[in-house]
Structure 1
Amino acid sequence: GLPGRPLPVDSPFRLGFVGALGVAAALLLVRVVLAAAPILLLVGIALFFAIGLDPAVSWLQRRGLGRGWAVFAIVAAVVAVLVVFVAAAVPPLLSQASGLRTEFPEYLERLERDNDMVRELDERFGIIERVRGVLAGGPEAEVPVFGGDGLGSVVGVARGVFAAFASTLTVVVLALYFLASLSGLKHTAYRLVPRSRRERFSLLADEVLDRIGGYLLGNLATSVIAGSAAFVFFVIVGIPYPFPLALVIALTGLIPLVGATIGSVVAVLVAFLISVPVGIATLVFAFVYQQFENFVLAPRIMKRTLDVSPLATIVAALIGAALLGVFGALLAVPVAASIQIIGRQVVLPRQEAS
């Protein structure tokens, strides 16, 4: 027979059917993203590191090296630094960390015995007992044990170590591929933009990527300086286990503005367990160094990369940490700077012209 009349565009059935398909597609997309979230996070971290190393690769390219050789030189330098660091740092780090873990219960007993406030807090909340349980790997640590023996814990630790190694290897390989093909990826992405806006978009995107890369390198430099300064101070005043304490400060120093202070909390506690004067000196050092980093060191290193107010930096870091932990705090500041650049270059001119 003859075909029937097509449904009108504004047909309730057609609108409902298309709307239902849209909702189903959105739900499916959300489920796919949630299922692939760990992999997407690794991809994002790898791309982040590739963008951070790209300014160094571009610097070598401007001096005559090809892209491939420049990437090889940077990767070789990074690997060499890591090998030297591991060879020099891991043995004393493991030794001192093991000693700190062994002697920390004694520090807790001394703190509980000599400090009335800590003893009262422990009686009310059981803080010290919880810490002891975590250090001893007992029930308070909430570590699952299968079969009534330690086999489940051993398997869990081995599984965690293997997962961490696999994730690290994945990030390294992806970062290497991203770094080698970053210019091609940018060129392909720019071609998706209409020709009339392509030049402006490419200039804006290049500025954003350059600032992100410069921020990462600068942030790494400030964290290394923070850890080195803390290590020297700990050795001078005689704080035990200076290497793991300084490493904690260096790692937390990646968090903008307050990272070194957060990392200094453990060192201050250990210092107060030695003596009150050493604890006060460590507290003063942490405060003074944080001010030096915020107002002298960081502005000099970051002056050509980011231009974000301290308030915006803290808010962005807090939001990023709430979403993705330490990596989110590290990523949030360049994202905030990128939004600021787009606002200045795109949004504000349109508002002024309207």
Structure 2
Amino acid sequence: MTTDSTLDPGTGSAPQADTTYGATPVFGAPAAPGDEGTRPLQHDARRPPRWWGKALAMAVLAVFVGIFAWGALGALQGLLVNLLIAFFIALALEPIVVWLVRHGWKRGGAAAAALLGGLAVTIVVFALFGNLFVQQLVQLVGYVPDLYTSAEEAIESRFGVDVPAVDELVRQGAEEWGGEVASGALLVGTTILGAVFAALTILLVTYYLLAAGPRFRASICRWLTPGRQQEVLRLWEVTQVKVSDFINTRIVLAAIATATTFAFLAILGTPYSLPLALFTGVVSQFVPTIGTYIGGALPVAVALTSQGFPQALGVLAFILGYQQIENLWLAPKVSARALEMNAAVSFVVVLAFGAVFGALGAFLALPIAATVQAVANTYVQRHELVRSHMLHDPGEGDDEDAGDPEDV
């Protein structure tokens, strides 16, 4: 008797028929017995993957969170600007508070004395010159039409160019912006209340920052490792010293420029000397590179139209001469420790911040740039310069310090 060779030697029975040939494969099943766990499970392309629903829900949630965060930042923009102003004022007053603490004052009392002292100085200045400033400012605003008429006549007589008359400009402005001006006048009271609230917010936050002092820095450092604490404290110290020196230097230079310009214009007999001098002093220090010329253009124009060409030429000569004295002698003496920046870089920073955040952004651009540069000077590694003719002008030696990174 012969043995059927088709019998399964392990079971002695006939093997199962292979039903997989030509049949639809089962997704997730092994290809053959013994292949369990050796092949990855296949995915049915007719159905979405299991993670699809969760990923879609997370994407939708992220979009809504982003929209909410953007709206919240827009709503909190005014508060954030006030906090930024308070922070820079606190940095500027910190050396005074530290000096008072060294001489036996309590931290809270020293902070209050520094803040109230600054307010007192501001009030005294406004009390001494505020009435004269307001009177001359009102007269200057009322003189603008006459100034425009004089400039119009001069341009038409010399260049033959037709310039719109004042009445035409007023009529056009009333037609285009009359409704906006009328509606905006209704918001004057709200604007005043908002300004008062913003001033109180800035003062309170500044006082709390000054009074907290080391405690505020300690509360931040408790969240960091010891190594990170050292870096944060070193960065804070560098930023505080540089920004404080920078702001105080600009304030001193602006005060000197204002006083000097006011004295010269008063001696020359130029009308509206106080507001013109204040405009020149502030703009010359907080608008880099061309600030002196922008600030001096208005006094020159007023002197030209109200006094004549010789007086205008005298004002122009004074502006140019004072700019040279300030750059070569006064500024290096006053800003010996202040953080200096490249003129082109600082000018671009002012334009950028002014375009994004308006006039206040332009005012805060230089302190913010000073902070960024202080961080860069602390953490960015400097290298020795190579010897190249591209790093010095013809006639200068290769050993001279051309292209100093501090000048960039």
Query: Same fold per TM (> 0.5)?
Result: yes
Q: Give 1:309's aligned amino acid.
A: N
Q: Give 1:196's aligned amino acid.
A: G
Q: Is the 8 A contact 1:111 1:118 kept in 2?
A: no
Q: Is the 8 A contact 1:133 1:141 kept in 2?
A: no
Relative distance call for 1:223 and 1:103 in structure 2 (3 A) is: same
Q: Give 1:195's aligned amino acid.
A: P
Q: 2:271 — aligned with what?
A: 240
Pairing partner for 2:292 from 260, 263, 266: 260
Pairing partner for 2:195 from 164, 168, 173: 164
TM-score by length of 1: 0.82
The within-5 A match list for 1:139-150 is 139=175, 142=178, 144=180
Q: Is the 8 A contact 2:92 2:248 kept in 1?
A: yes
How many angstroms apart in 2 are the aligned matches of 1:196 and 1:90?
52
Q: 1:4 — aligned with what?
A: none
Relative distance call for 1:244 and 1:345 in structure 2 (3 A) is: closer
Q: Give 1:186's aligned amino acid.
A: R
Q: Give 2:206's aligned amino acid.
A: A
Relative distance call for 1:168 and 1:190 in structure 2 (3 A) is: same
Between Structure 1 and Structure 2, whose CA radius of gyration is higher? 2
Shift of 1:32: 0.6
Relative distance call for 1:201 and 1:107 in structure 2 (3 A) is: closer
What secondary structure is seen at the aligned counterpart in 1 of 2:271? coil
User: Which range moved further: 267-276 or 303-312?
Assistant: 303-312
Shift of 1:205: 1.8
How big is each residue's C-alpha offset from its partner over 1:204-226, in whole Å with a ceiling of 9 and x where there is no partner? Answer: 22111221122111111111111
Shift of 1:276: 0.9
Aligned residue-pair number: 333
Q: 1:16 — aligned with what?
A: 56
Q: Give 2:51's aligned amino acid.
A: S
Q: Is the 8 A contact 1:112 1:119 kept in 2?
A: no
The within-5 A match list for 1:25-174 is 25-116=65-156, 123-124=162-163, 126=164, 128-129=166-167, 138-139=174-175, 142=178, 144=180, 155-174=186-205
Pairing partner for 1:339 from 372, 387, 401: 372
Q: Between the two structures, name the one with larger relative contact order (CA 8 Å, sep ≥ 6).
A: 1
How many angstroms apart in 2 are the aligned matches of 1:182 and 1:266?
43
Relative distance call for 1:324 and 1:297 in structure 2 (3 A) is: farther
Pairing partner for 2:325 from 285, 292, 296: 292
Sequence identity (%) = 25
Pairing partner for 1:188 from 219, 223, 244: 219
Identify, as 1 or 2, the structure richer in helix.
1
Q: Is the 8 A contact 1:222 1:253 kept in 2?
A: no
Q: Give 1:144's aligned amino acid.
A: E
Relative distance call for 1:80 and 1:344 in structure 2 (3 A) is: closer
Q: Give 1:164's aligned amino acid.
A: A
Q: 1:3 — aligned with what?
A: none
Shift of 1:141: 6.0
Q: 1:203 — aligned with what?
A: 234
What secondary structure is seen at the aligned counterpart in 2 of 1:348? coil
Relative distance call for 1:242 and 1:303 in structure 2 (3 A) is: same
Work out whether 1:322 is the aligned partner of 2:355.
yes
What secondary structure is seen at the aligned counterpart in 1 of 2:103? coil
Shift of 1:261: 2.8
Q: Is the 8 A contact 1:227 1:249 kept in 2?
A: yes
Pairing partner for 2:313 from 280, 285, 299: 280
How many angstroms apart in 2 are the aligned matches of 1:127 and 1:261?
27
Q: Is the 8 A contact 1:268 1:279 kept in 2?
A: yes
Q: Give 1:223's aligned amino acid.
A: A
Shift of 1:12: 3.5
Shift of 1:233: 1.1
How many angstroms apart in 1 are the aligned matches of 2:228 and 2:168?
60
Stretches of structure 1 that go unaligned for 5 or more consecutive residues are 1-8, 147-151
Shift of 1:52: 1.5
Work out whether 1:176 is the aligned partner of 2:207.
yes
Pairing partner for 1:304 from 316, 337, 342: 337
Relative distance call for 1:74 and 1:168 in structure 2 (3 A) is: same
Stretches of structure 2 that go unaligned for 5 or more consecutive residues are 1-48, 384-408
How many angstroms apart in 2 are the aligned matches of 1:30 and 1:306?
34
